[in-house]
Amino acid sequence: MPGRIFRPITVMKKVSSKMGKGVIMGKRKGFTLVELMVVVLIVTILAAVAMPLLSGRIDSSKWSEANAGAGTIRTAVRAYFAENPTAAQTLSGGLDVAATQAVLGFSAQDLSGGFFVPGDYNIDSVNAQGFATITVTGGSLPRSPAGSYTMAANGSWNKN
């Protein structure tokens, strides 16, 4: 057929989908509302699972400050015991008392941290070998954790 112009025919492949038959490939742009809702649901479930785990870790890190402070007090009591064994065994009470701080060689700021203050530390007793049992009680500062821990004479750190 001379003189006749042939135009190429564009054939688009049709595929079937759950949304209906005859959806032409290449026309779909973006995500459906259902797909977005599923993603939001998955992220919400992951966040709900992760939050309690993270809050427990935050309190644990706060109590590590108290553990370090109690260890420092324990070392100071042991050093004081080496110099004066009889007087060291009579040490007891809170470290908010300036006289107790002075005997152990602490200044007012030495035991002040981000979550605990000197009044949170209490020397319960000192044994015959010079090792102190120290109780730390939280809650005195707005961000400090609640509860109390004890550093026993053998150095173990236990929640009360």
pTM of the prediction?
0.67
Q: Taking the alpha carbons of 49, 50, 51, 53 in that order, is the dihedral positive or negative?
A: positive
Q: At 14, give phi and psi (nearest 5°).
A: -95, 140
* Alpha carbon distances (Å) from 15 to 11, 19, 21, 25, 95: 13, 11, 7, 7, 78
State the pLDDT at residue 74. Answer: 93
Backbone φ/ψ region at 58: left (φ over 0), alpha (ψ -120 to 50), beta: alpha
| Arithmetic mean of pLDDT, 45-53 | 89
In a domain, 95, yes or no: yes
Q: Taking the alpha carbons of 76, 81, 83, 88 in that order, is the dihedral positive or negative?
A: positive
Q: pLDDT class for 53, splitting at 50, 70, 90? A: confident
Q: Taking the alpha carbons of 15, 18, 20, 24 in that order, is the dihedral positive or negative?
A: negative
> Which residues, 6+ apart, have CB-to-CB distance to 138 below 8 Å?
62, 63, 66, 115, 116, 120, 144, 145, 146, 147, 148
Query: What is the extent of the structural domain holding 113?
Result: 65-159
In a domain, 4, yes or no: no
**114-131 as b/e: b if 16+ CB within 10 A:** ebbbbebbbbeebeeebb
Output the average pLDDT for the chain.
Answer: 84
In a domain, 124, yes or no: yes
User: How many domains would you assign to the chain?
Assistant: 1
In a domain, 109, yes or no: yes
In a domain, 45, yes or no: no
In a domain, 17, yes or no: no
State the pLDDT at residue 137. Answer: 94
Which pLDDT tens digit goes with each residue over 73-104?
Answer: 999 999 999 998 888 888 888 888 888 888 89
| Arithmetic mean of pLDDT, 12-29 | 58
**Percentage, residues of the chain above pLDDT 70:** 82
Q: pLDDT class for 69, splitting at 50, 70, 90? A: very high
In a domain, 41, yes or no: no
In a domain, 69, yes or no: yes
Higher per-residue confidence, 148 vs 15: 148
Q: pLDDT class for 57, splitting at 50, 70, 90? A: confident
Q: Taking the alpha carbons of 98, 104, 105, 111 in that order, is the dihedral positive or negative?
A: negative
